[in-house]
Amino acid sequence: MIQSSTFDVAGVHNKKALEKRLQQIQDGDDTLDTGIMMFDLNNLKTINDTYGHEEGDVFIQTFASFLTRILTEDSYLARFGGDEFLIIQKNTTWSQLEQMNIRLQTLIDEYNQTADHPLSYAVGYDISCKNHYYLIMDLLKIADEKMYQDKKYKKQQLAQKQQYLTKSGLAQSISSDSLKEKIFTILTNANGEKEYAFIMTDISKFHLINDYWGYETGTKILNFVLRRMELFSDSLFVNRYHSDIFVAVIDTTGRKPSDVKNHLEESNRQITREILKTFPINYFHLNTGIYYLKDTNTPAEQIISHANIVREKAKMELSGVYEYTSEVALNEQRRADTIHSFKSALMQKEFKIYFQPKICGRDQTIASAEALVRWQRGKENMWYPDMFLPILEETGEIQALDYYVYEETFAWMNQRQKEGKKIIPVSLNVSPVHFENIRSFTEKVMTLINKYEINPYHVIFEITETTFIH
């Protein structure tokens, strides 16, 4: 009876026993290397209201059973509320608390694949150490605040987790919401001394492996890559995201970005060697994007997006690894600015045309000119072609800019004619996209030539070497 009086129906210490343990710690000499982990089980009220309190008790007991599986000999687990649990971890480190949470999340992810009532929880944890020394009640308060932040975020996730094993035995994938929750939990509970990197990796032209060698071989390769990535040192978690894309968070504390990049490059080379040795394929290459988690205020969806951007850029690198840097961030900001402001800039004539003269070497007279375009961004900010043309070529908006340049040029030539000034041939660039519908291009150009009464002899169209080669 004495034994059972300190335990809850969930099989762990109850609130009374917890209070006694906390008092013992408070009366002790210090709280050095003591950690607190607080857990709040989500959706218990829904289970109780929908299926009854007996099913709710099973829900709680199931979660408690997973908590017991992450304990060590220095752990003290207790339930101190209806759906709230607490672990006091003695002689611990912050990394151990982090790994315990990752272990719990992995266990629950596996359970949820076949569970009638999937488990979800919020967590907050911290440690009292030399750099951050706390009394036990202060430590409880900090862990509780972090848990509340985690719970608030997870309540905002509307889509339901969809982690599953397919009938083909394919490695489980992680939903975007679950991935964002994992990232948020890690960053929310991070103390200032920890550094992380989020990585996203894919397999080059994986569809060709499926098409040529079959889906069974493709599935085996995906599972092999996942298992091999899990062996990467300092990995907190690794998951298949979707298709042939994998995601992971790694601990980079105390390491230079160049060392992290080199380590990932070597890991990818090792995986490639093992794949080519194990499977009958003749070509295999991994592309990895790295995003360093420096700002804990960066939303998880932006972290995933940034990593995805550099994963695509990695495909153009021989090493297959690309880092998200301030330069990449600036280029992406400019890209977004270009895409969203182009049409209004065109209507407001922010694009200015300049004519670069071509000088005849024989008599030093102007023989012809080349039309150049610049984007006037405000009074003192001018963008040159390499800052916006590649983006407009990607989006297809380059056609509209080309016709704008043609019309502005022809209008200038027409005005010179009216003023009786000399007319010289003008060279104009033709973007590659026009060759997809050359008839439409021809008709629009002739319409502009006729509108401004331009002698076609004075119009020269130029194509780039790249266009010519294609």
SS (H, E, C) 368-416: EEEEEEEEEECCCEEECHHHHHHHHHHHCCHHHHHHHHHHHHHHHHHHH
Q: Which of 135, 156, 177 is the last residue of a domain?
A: 156
Put the strands of the sheet holding 196-203 in their side by side order: 235-242, 245-251, 196-203, 286-293, 321-323
> Is residue 112 within 8 Å of residue 161, measured between CB atoms?
yes
Helix (H) or strand (E) holding 274: helix 257-278
- CA gap 187, 125 in Å, rounded: 11
β-bridge pairing 426-429 and 459-462: parallel
Residue 466 pLDDT > 80: no
Statement to judge: residues 417 and 445 lie in one domain: yes
> What pLDDT score does 5 carry?
61
Identify whether residues 278 and 354 lie together within a single domain: no
Mean model confidence pLDDT for the chain: 88
Residues 320 and 199 reside in one and the same domain: yes
- Quick one: 217 and 286 in the same domain? yes
* Strand ranges across the sheet with 121-128: 75-79, 84-89, 34-41, 121-128
Range with the poorest average pLDDT among 64-73, 305-314, 362-371, 458-467 = 458-467
Whether the predicted pLDDT of 361 surpasses 60: yes
Same domain for 190 and 148? no
Residue where a domain stops, chosen among 324, 349, 365 = 324
Compute the distance between CA of residue 438 and CA of residue 324 in angstroms, rounded to an integer: 39
pLDDT at 158: 41
pLDDT tens string 148-180: 988 888 777 643 433 433 445 676 788 888 888
Same domain, 359 and 299: no
In this structure, are 173 and 209 located in the same domain? yes
The CA distances from residue 209 to 78, 318, 320, in Å, are: 51, 21, 19
The DSSP string of 324-342 is --HHHHHHHHHHHHHHHHH
pLDDT for residue 94 = 86
Q: Is the pLDDT of residue 194 over 50?
A: yes
Does one domain contain both 390 and 453? yes
Q: Which of 97, 132, 156 is the last residue of a domain?
A: 156
- Tokens representing 45? 């009220």
- Kind plus residue range of the DSSP H or E element containing 451: helix 438-451
Q: What's this model's pTM, rounded to 2 decimal places?
A: 0.69
Measured N-to-C along each axis, helices 53-68 and 94-112 cross at an angle, to the nearest 10 degrees, of: 130
Note whether 63 and 85 are same-domain residues.
Answer: yes
d(CA 287, CA 321): 6
- If asked whether residues 4 and 152 sit together in one domain, one would say yes
Do 124 and 267 belong to one domain?
Answer: no
Residue 409 to residues 217, 356, 424, Cα–Cα distance (Å): 58, 12, 12
Determine the pLDDT at residue 419: 93
Q: Are 354 and 374 in contact (CB under 8 A)?
A: yes
Total structural domains within the chain? 3
Residue-level pLDDT at 266: 94
Residue 90 placed within a domain: yes
> Do residues 8 and 120 share a domain?
yes
| Residue 159: other Cβ atoms inside 10 A | 9
Q: Which domain holds residue 192?
A: 167-324
pLDDT given at position 169: 63
